[in-house]
Each structure stands twice: as structure tokens, then as C-alpha cells.
């Protein structure tokens, strides 16, 4: 199998990719926060994840690709003044709930991803489906 080298931003060096399991890779990519449409800066991350995934598959690795959907609000910066993005989006869009807002923008994200030719992840768990696990992890 061809060697793969990746840039490690912590060590600031290219390092040989040495998977835990030499044949099977599990790959996680942080997905969108669905309070509005993803912009080109967001999609830069998703395109880069797609390139890594395609490279692993091309090199012969069995790769399970997981990308989360953040469908629950959180603050992004101090400029948000204590209000999460989902709550602001519900008001902005005039929809009845954060669920409705999230579902709308999940659809937009999937359509945009397809239009860009991105390969879909094998699994796209929603943050709200795993709240208990997140709480347990923090404890």
C-alpha cells in the first residue's frame, strides 16, 4: 500500500499516516451547525474532509466516514450576546421550532453537498440524538 503523509499542525511536520488498524479506518469530520445555510468557508472544511476520505478509499483502506450534524444551539462568539444561533434562526425564519429550522437546513446542506459532488458520509448523527452520551462523556 502506498504511504500517506499528512501535515500535523501540532508538530508542524509531515508525518506518515499509521492507522491503528492497518486495513480499517474510522474517520470523523465535524459537520454543519444547521441554523442557516452553510457558506463557502464552512464548505471548505467539508471539501477537505471529502478529499481525505477519497484519498483513503483510493489507497485501499476500508473507511467508515462519520460526519455529525449540530442541530442544537450553541454560542459561536462573544458577539452573540448570550443567545444561541438556533434560537436566533427560529426567530429570523419565522418557523415554529428549532427542529423545523434544523430539518430545513439539513436538507439545504445535503443538496449543496450533492451539488458540489461530495461523497456522503456513511453516518450523519444528529447531536440531539446523543445528548445523554455527551453528558456521560463530560462527567
Q: What is the pLDDT of residue 139?
A: 87
The CATH number, out of the four listed (1.20.1340.10, 3.90.76.10, 3.50.50.60, 3.40.50.620), of the domain defined by the range 5-138: 3.40.50.620
In sequence order, what are the beta bridge partners of 15? 6
Q: Can you give the residue ranges of every domain in the chain?
A: 5-138
Statement: the pTM of the whole predicted model exceeds 0.75:
yes
* Pairing assessment for the beta strands 24-29 and 62-67 based on DSSP bridges: parallel
Q: What is the pLDDT of residue 80?
A: 57
What are the 10-residue block averages of pLDDT along the chain, 139 residues in total?
93 96 94 95 98 97 96 64 82 93 97 98 94 87
pLDDT at 79: 59
What pLDDT is recorded for position 117? Answer: 99
Amino acid at each position: 500500500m502506498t504511504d500517506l503523509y499528512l501535515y500535523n499542525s501540532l508538530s508542524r511536520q509531515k508525518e506518515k499516516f499509521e492507522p491503528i488498524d492497518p486495513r480499517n479506518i474510522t474517520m470523523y469530520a465535524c459537520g454543519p451547525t444547521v441554523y442557516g445555510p452553510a457558506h463557502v468557508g464552512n464548505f471548505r472544511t467539508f471539501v477537505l474532509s471529502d478529499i481525505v476520505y477519497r484519498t483513503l478509499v483510493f489507497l485501499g483502506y476500508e473507511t467508515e466516514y462519520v460526519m455529525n450534524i449540530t442541530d442544537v444551539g450553541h454560542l459561536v462568539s462573544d458577539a452573540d450576546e448570550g443567545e444561541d444561533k438556533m434560537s436566533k434562526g427560529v426567530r429570523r425564519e419565522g418557523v415554529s421550532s428549532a427542529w423545523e429550522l434544523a430539518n430545513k437546513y439539513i436538507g439545504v446542506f445535503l443538496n449543496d453537498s450533492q451539488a458540489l459532488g461530495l461523497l456522503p458520509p456513511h453516518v450523519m448523527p444528529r447531536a440531539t440524538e446523543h445528548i445523554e452520551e455527551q453528558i456521560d462523556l463530560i462527567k
